[in-house]
Amino acid sequence: MWFWTMSVVGDVWFGFSWLLNQLPKFNPVKTIPDMVALRRQYDLPDGTSTLPGIDVFVTTADPIDEPILYTMNCVLSILASDYPVDRCACYLSDDSGALIQYEALIETAKFATLWVPFCRKHCIEPRAPESYFELEAPLYTGSASEEFKNDHSSVHREYDEFKERLDSLSSAISKRSDAYNSMKTGEGDAKATWMANGTQWPGSWIDTTEIHRKGHHAGIVKVVLDHSVRGHNLGSQASTHNLNFANTDVRLPMLVYISRGKNPSYDHNKKAGALNAQLRASALLSNAQFIINFDCDHYINNSQKP
Is 130 annotated in a binding site? The answer is no
> In angstroms, rounded to a whole number, what is the distance separating the alpha carbons of residues 266 and 161?
42
Closest CA to 278 of 258, 255, 253, 298: 258
**Residue pair 284/48 in contact by the 8 Å Cβ criterion:** no
Closest CA to 119 of 160, 86, 78: 78
DSSP helix/strand/coil, 60: strand
Sheet order of strands, 254-259 included: 220-225, 254-259, 88-94, 54-60, 290-295
295 belongs to an annotated ligand binding site = yes
Kind of pairing, strands 254-259 and 290-295?
unpaired
Beta-strand ranges (E) seen in the chain are: 54-60, 88-94, 220-225, 254-259, 290-295
Establish whether 110 is an annotated binding residue: no
The residues, any chain, with a CB within 8 Å of residue 101's CB and separated by 6 or more, are 60, 63, 68, 71, 92, 94, 257, 259
Burial 126-161 (b: 16+ CB within 10 A, else e): bbbbbebeeeeeeeeeeeeeeebeebbeebeebbee
271 labelled ligand-binding:
yes
C-alpha dihedral sign at 211, 212, 217, 218: positive
Instruction: Report the distance separating Cα 83 and Cα 118, nearest Å.
Output: 15
Binding residues for UDP-alpha-D-glucose: 66, 95, 270
Binding residues for Mn(2+): 271, 295
Binding residues: 66, 95, 270-271, 295
